[in-house]
Amino acid sequence: MKEASKMANAPQIIGYHRPTEIHVKLAAITHNIGEELKRTNPGTEMFAVIKANGYGHGLIEMAHACLSAGATGLCVAILDEALALREADITVPVLVLGITPVQWAGLAAENNISLTVGDLGWLQAAQAVLGDRQLSVHLALDTGMGRIGFQHPEELAPAVSFLTEHGEQYDFAGIFTHFATADEADTAYFKRQVGRWQAMMAVLDERPRYVHVSNTATSLWHEACNGNMIRFGVGIYGLNPSGGSLTAPYELEPALSLTTELAFVKQLAAGDSVSYGATYTAAQDEWVGTLPIGYADGYPRRMQGFHVLVAGQECEIIGRVCMDQMMVRLPHELPVGTLVTMVGTDGDHTISLQDVADYAGTIHYEIATNLGMRLQRVYE
C-alpha cells in the first residue's frame, strides 16, 4: 500500500481459547447476492457494502465472498476500512461513503480509493493536498436523508463545473443519494426524495460512470430507481432491511449464527439470587448454566428474560447479562461443554437476529454490528 496509514497499533484480541464463536455461512452470502443480481438490469453493477466489519461478519472475508458472488466493487464507511482492503491486496473499486477529512485526500488518491464529497469547499481545499495526484470522487446529494451532501441544484452546479475544470486532479466517478424511507410501506417521502434527486440531476450535462441511489431496501422494493449501480448492504447477510414489515421478493438466507457452550453448571437453592442487582431470585431449586459471553462481546445487557437454545430447548436468561458472562436456567443438570445457540437453529427452534433486536428494542443492524472483534469468526 502506498504511503503510511495511521492504522491502530493496539493488538486485536480474538477469543480463540473460549468456545464462543460466530459462524458465517458463505453459501448464504452467495445465494443472497445471486438472487439480487438476477433482478438487476443488464449493465447494472453491484457494490457490496461491507462497512462496520462486514456488518459484524468480517471485513476482509466478506469482501472476498461478495466479489466471488458477483459484486464488482465495495463500499465502506471510513477511509481506514478502505485502506485495510488495499492492505489485503483487494484491488477492485472501493468507495468511502462517509466524509473524509481533507488532509487524507492524497492518501486516498495514492491508494486508488474513491471518496464521497458533499460540498465545493472540500474540493477546493483538497487541491493543495493532492498536488499532481488524481482523486476519484462521488458527489453525495442530500435529497431528504439530512445527513451529508449537496441540498440544492444551485449548490451542485458549481461543484460539477469545478470537477470538469480540474480533471487533472479529480476523476468525477459517481453521483448518488440515499433514501430514508425505502423500507417503509408509505412511499410519500420516498417519492419526494425521488423528485428532488431528479431536479438536482437535471443540472448535469453529462453523467459520471456511476449513478446510484439504491441501498438494499431500494433495490428490493423500488428497483426502477436502481441507476447503473446498487449499493447492496444488509441484504447480503440475509437480513430484511424493513425488519419484516415488508416481504422481500426472494428468500433472504441469514448467514450468521452465534454459539457458545456451558462453561459452568450449578444448582441454585430456592431463594438464591443471580447476577448484579440480584434481579432474579430462584423460586425453587433449579439448575443454572453460565455462558462465556457478555455485553462486551456485543450481546445486549438488557436481555434478561429472553432465551437461548440449549440441547434444543429454550432456556431463559436469568439475571442481568454481565460484561463477559451470563446465566441461563436449565431444564435439568447438563454437562459443561453442552452447545448453546444464541442466534441460529437448534432442533425445532430458531433465534434470529431480528428476535434478539425485537427483545432489545432496537434493529438487527445494531445487534449484528455490535458483535465484538474478540468473538472468533468461523467461515463455513
* Domains, the chain, with CATH or none: 26-237 (3.20.20.10), 256-379 (2.40.37.10)
Cα–Cα dist 245/272, whole Å: 42
Q: Which pLDDT score is estimated for 12? A: 85
With contact defined as beta carbons under 8 Å apart, do 45 and 228 qualify? yes
221: enclosing H helix or E strand: helix 216-221
Residue ranges in the chain modelled with pLDDT below 70: 1-10
Chain-centroid distance of CA 92 in Å reads 19
Task: Cite the annotated binding site by residue number.
Answer: 147, 323
Cα–Cα dist 9/181, whole Å: 39
Instruction: Report pTM.
Output: 0.94
Distances (CA, A) of 284 to 272, 273, 279, 281, 289: 9, 11, 15, 9, 16
Active site annotation includes 276: yes
CB-neighbour burial class of residue 219 (10 A; exposed 0-12, middle 13-18, buried 19+): buried
Q: Which pLDDT score is estimated for 11? A: 75
199 DSSP β-pair partners: none
61: number of Cβ within 10 Å: 18
Q: Which residues contact 37 (CB under 8 A, 6 or more apart)?
A: 46, 70
With contact defined as beta carbons under 8 Å apart, do 139 and 175 qualify? yes
Q: Which pLDDT score is estimated for 372? A: 95
224: number of Cβ within 10 Å: 8
Cell of 274: 443471580
Cα–Cα dist 148/177, whole Å: 9
With contact defined as beta carbons under 8 Å apart, do 177 and 190 qualify? no
Task: Cite the annotated binding site for substrate by residue number.
Answer: 147, 323
What's the length of the chain? 380
The alpha-helical segments, DSSP class H, found in 4-90 are 26-39, 51-55, 59-69, 79-87
Active site annotation includes 51: yes
Q: Which pLDDT score is estimated for 1? A: 56
Q: Which of 16, 25, 51, 280 is catalytic?
A: 51
Residue type, 27: A
The alpha-helical segments, DSSP class H, found in 88-184 are 105-110, 120-130, 153-165
Cα–Cα dist 237/310, whole Å: 25
The helix/strand/coil state of 234 is helix
327 DSSP β-pair partners: 290, 318
Q: Which of 6, 191, 266, 276 is catalytic?
A: 276
Place of cell 440515499: 178
Backbone dihedral angles phi then psi of residue 180, each to the nearest 5 degrees: -85, -25
Cα–Cα dist 137/210, whole Å: 10
Backbone dihedral angles phi then psi of residue 271, each to the nearest 5 degrees: 95, -15
Q: Which pLDDT score is estimated for 4? A: 46
The helix/strand/coil state of 247 is coil
